[in-house]
Structure formats: C-alpha cells, structure tokens
Amino acid sequence: MTARMSDQRPPDGLVTVEYRAAEAIAGPLITAEPVTGVGYGEPVAVIGADARARRGRVLEINGDRVTVQVLDGTEGLGLADTVIRSTGGTSRLPVGPGLLGRTFDGAGRPADGQPPIVPHEARDLDGAPLNPVARGHPSDVVETGICAIDALITLVRGQKLPIFSGYGLPAAELAARVAAGSRLRGGTGDDDFVVVFAALGVTRREAEFYRSALAGSGRQHRMVSFLNLAEDPAIERLQTPRLALTAAEYLAWDEGRDVLVVMTDMTNYCEALREVSAARQELPGRRGYPSDMYSDLASLFERAGRIRGRAGSITQLAVLSMPDDDISHPIPDLAGYITEGQIVLSRDLDRRGVFPPIDVLPSLSRLASAGIGAGRTRDDHRDLSDQLYACYARGRQVRDLASIVGTAALGEDDRRYLDFADEFERRFINQGDARRDINATLDLAWDLLARFPRHELKRIRPGFLDRRHRPAAEESAGQPDAERPG
C-alpha cells in the first residue's frame, strides 16, 4: 500500500490523501486494505489507469479495511493501478434559495440545462437527527384534490404515508397528480407550500412524463425535482432520496416552508439495496433483501415531521410497488411498520376504468383525526368519513353475496347498499382529471348518502343530519309531477 499527500485541497481546507490499496473489485464495490483516516460515508474519488476520477463513497469500515461503493461504475478499473483519493469530508448537497424551480439528476447535478445554484452552504445528505422530544404532533390537512384521500385517508402535515401499488397500476399518474395539485388547507399562502419530487430508477419515458406533468401544473416554480434514471448506476439510487430529503430539510427548517416530499418508486431503492448487499456478500434476510433494510428505510421515513414551536414541516408520500400484488412482501410489510398508514391501489377498480383506483377499505391514515374537524376542515368531515366507510363496507359484502345468490334474491335494504357501492366507486372514487376541493368532496358525500333513510346513518351526529340530510324519497316527493324521475 502506498499513501501520499495530495497537492489538491478541498474547499474546507482539509488535506486529501491518496491510497493505492485495492484488493478486490466486485460489481460497484472496491475493497481496499490497509486504509486509515477515512470516515463512514465519506465521498472519495476512485481513479484508474485512464486518469478519470469516478465518484465513490465509503460504505463500510472494518479496522483498516474499507469498502467503497463507486457511483460511476467500476468498468476499466484494475487492482494494480486503482487509486482511492479521500476528501476528508461527507457527502453534501449545495442548498440555497435557488433550489426552487430546479431539476437535478440522481447525483444532485443540474438536469435542466441551467447552471448550478449559488449555494448558501452544503448540507450533509444524512441530515441531522431530530430530538424526539422536540417533535410536534402532525396536524392540519394537506389537501391533494383526490376525493378518496382527502375524505377517507386524509394526509396530515408532518405525516409519512405510502402508496402501495401493483405493477402496471397508475401509481405514477397518481403521484404526479398529488405533487402537482396539493396544497396546505388553511395555510398562510401557496408560496409557503412547496413540493420536492424524487423519481428513483425510472425510464426515460417515465422521467419525461414527470417533467411534463409537473411543468404543466403551473407550480413548477415551487417545486424541486430529482430524477434518477434506470440506466444510471444502481448505487446512485441510494443517494437520490437523501438528496431530496436534504433539500426538503433546508426548505422546511431554514426557510420555514411546509414541504411535501413525493418519492417514487421506493421498490427500486430496495432493489438497489439488495444489489449492493449481494455484492458485499452479506447474509440475506427475507427474500434476499438485506437484513438491515428496516433501519435503512426508517432512516429515510423518519426525516418527516414537525418541530414544536418552529415554522415549517416535512410530509412524505412514497410509492411502493408490491411484487405479485403481495402486501406481505418485505418492502410494503416493513414500510407499513415505519409509516402512519397506507393508500392501497386496486387492480379490479383499474380494470373497470376507475381513476385513481384507490381501494379505501384496506387503506388507512392513522393520523387523520389529528387533521380533520375542530376548525381544520368542515365539522362534518369525521362523521361523513366514518359513514362512508361503513356503507361502502356493507355494500361490498352485499356484492359478494349477490355473486352467489343473484341480485333478485336480495332484499330492499341490501339492494340499496349494493347501489351505493356502485355509485360510490363511479362518482366518488373515480374523478378522472378533475380536481375536487374538500368542500366539493364532502358535498358529494352527502349527495351519495341521500339514498339512505335517517335511521341507517348511525355514524353521523343528529345535528348534522338535521342540517344536511335530505333523503332522496323526500326530494322526489317535493318535486312537481312533471319533474319527478321516471
């Protein structure tokens, strides 16, 4: 091993050291020994015989033996002539007011043809840990414009909520709609609500779709995008969500903004974890994924939240694709333990042309009660949400029964619930390209519930029924003969 001091000095004045100590190259990883004086997560330059500096990062330290992950690939590198140059620092993202309105690649380089931003400082990608005691409880609704989410699976400021999707379902379209149409209900102004969008391992066609969808929203000046392509090194995929969250933390804690972070698809991130774990020859966990995948995902999801007594917040909405539509797969299973609910997409609804195809029965927002009612939304929101769930659940049960005995064998009450389930999916869940605010959403809920007599609506308090409920039979009775249906 040879080590020598370099004449080059990084901006912070730290002296760089070069090591010619490569022992093994496996996939995107280089093992070198002995190497001293480097830190975990430190960025390094890996230089081969072609004199090209490849970006690398210290992945593991075991005594004086280190493992370096090479972000630009190890093709063309040999053991004898590979040099590892330390920097003495950590992986950082330049941050400043110029972040908004920009698009970067998965390594944090400008991908919109514009020059790099003028940074105020460079932030560590791993962020700073938040004191759990200082965390504020999530509150206030993030209005997405999607009926099923806003009314039933309410997203709350400071929450982390995943979307569980099967392959081929329109999760990408839903993520783009949420990123383009969300706003903080009751916020001080639209300029205080911004979106950080991170696409992980997407094709060029998907990346172009996201660019067009976000640009067409007219709100691109309040967005920051990070696009990691499938053709980019898989190891770079592990860095992209950390870039997005570092940008979000600057916008939230330094500029006092409410930030929504949309990340898609976290399954590609987990596949990159598995690839790196296999290259390191680690003992695999469930289905070949690394045994520390839970803590790795937690290091990302737990960067959401609010700080008590401080402006700003970070809310996360992450898309996870479930292989074989299996919700017990390790990726959605572990994510479900860390996050505060889930939004589940239905293949059956998608086949019937419903968009977004959200299956509300297995979906859940554990923090919905912290954001709805009590002046944050309409006072009848909580009651309507519970009643819609109850009626739709019974309607689904009746649908299963009708598939066995036929609709002709159903009683009048069962037929009413069956009709409600069909109408609920056709008019409430299905909204196409339209955006509905929370008032329009809840008005539609009252309209759908008008088919039921008062005694059937047991989840709604009498005061709300007195003011808003008007059974369909009463409306028909109050119409002139010429205007009655039929």
What is the helix (H) or strand (E) element at residue 206, kind and residue range? helix 204-215
Residue 37 has a pLDDT of 78
Chain mean pLDDT for the chain = 88
Residue 7 has a pLDDT of 39
- Is pLDDT at 147 greater than 70 in this prediction? yes
- Is pLDDT at 330 greater than 80 in this prediction? yes
Query: Could you give the CA distance from residue 41 to residue 370 in angstroms, rounded to a whole number?
Result: 37
Query: Could you give the CA distance from residue 181 to residue 292 in angstroms, rounded to a whole number?
Result: 35
For range 323-327, the mean pLDDT = 93
pLDDT digits (tens, 9 = 90+) for 387-414: 999 999 999 999 999 999 999 999 999 9
Query: In the chain, pLDDT over 70 holds for what percent of residues?
Result: 92
- Is pLDDT at 13 greater than 60 in this prediction? no
Residue 24 has a pLDDT of 87
Structure tokens that stand for 27 in this block: 């996939």
Residue 485 has a pLDDT of 41
- Which 8-state DSSP code applies to residue 141? B
- Is pLDDT at 376 greater than 80 in this prediction? no
DSSP for 406-422, written as a single string: -GGG--HHHHHHHHHHH
Cis amide linkage into residue 129, ω under 30° from 0: no
Query: Could you give the CA distance from residue 5 to residue 27 in angstroms, rounded to a whole number?
Result: 29
For 45, phi and psi rounded to 5 degrees? -110, 130
- Is pLDDT at 476 greater than 70 in this prediction? no
pLDDT digits (tens, 9 = 90+) for 244-284: 999 999 999 999 999 999 999 999 999 999 988 887 788 88
Helices (H), strands (E): how many in the chain? 14, 22
pLDDT digits (tens, 9 = 90+) for 455-465: 999 999 999 99
- Is pLDDT at 418 greater than 50 in this prediction? yes
Query: Could you give the CA distance from residue 47 to residue 304 in angstroms, rounded to a whole number?
Result: 37
pLDDT digits (tens, 9 = 90+) for 153-209: 999 999 999 999 999 999 999 999 999 999 987 554 456 899 999 999 999 999 999
Structure tokens that stand for 111 in this block: 């991908």
Structural domains of the chain, with CATH: 2-86 (2.40.30.20), 92-370 (3.40.50.12240), 381-480 (no CATH)
The residues, ordered by sequence, that sit 6+ positions from 248 with a Cβ below 8 Å of its Cβ are 196, 259, 261, 303, 314
Confidence of residue 58 (pLDDT cuts 50, 70, 90): confident
For range 34-38, the mean pLDDT = 82
pLDDT digits (tens, 9 = 90+) for 230-253: 998 887 899 999 999 999 999 999
Residue 483 has a pLDDT of 41
User: What pTM did the predictor assign?
Assistant: 0.88
For range 5-24, the mean pLDDT = 60
Query: Could you give the CA distance from residue 107 to residue 125 in angstroms, rounded to a whole number?
Result: 11
Residue 373 has a pLDDT of 67
Query: Could you give the CA distance from residue 387 to residue 152 in angstroms, rounded to a whole number?
Result: 10
Neighbours of 36 (CB within 10 A): 13
Residue 223 has a pLDDT of 95
In terms of Cα–Cα distance, which of 210, 264, 207 is closest to 240?
264
- Is pLDDT at 473 greater than 70 in this prediction? no
Degrees to nearest 5, angle at CA 88 with 85 and 89: 115
165 vs 127, residue with greater confidence: 165
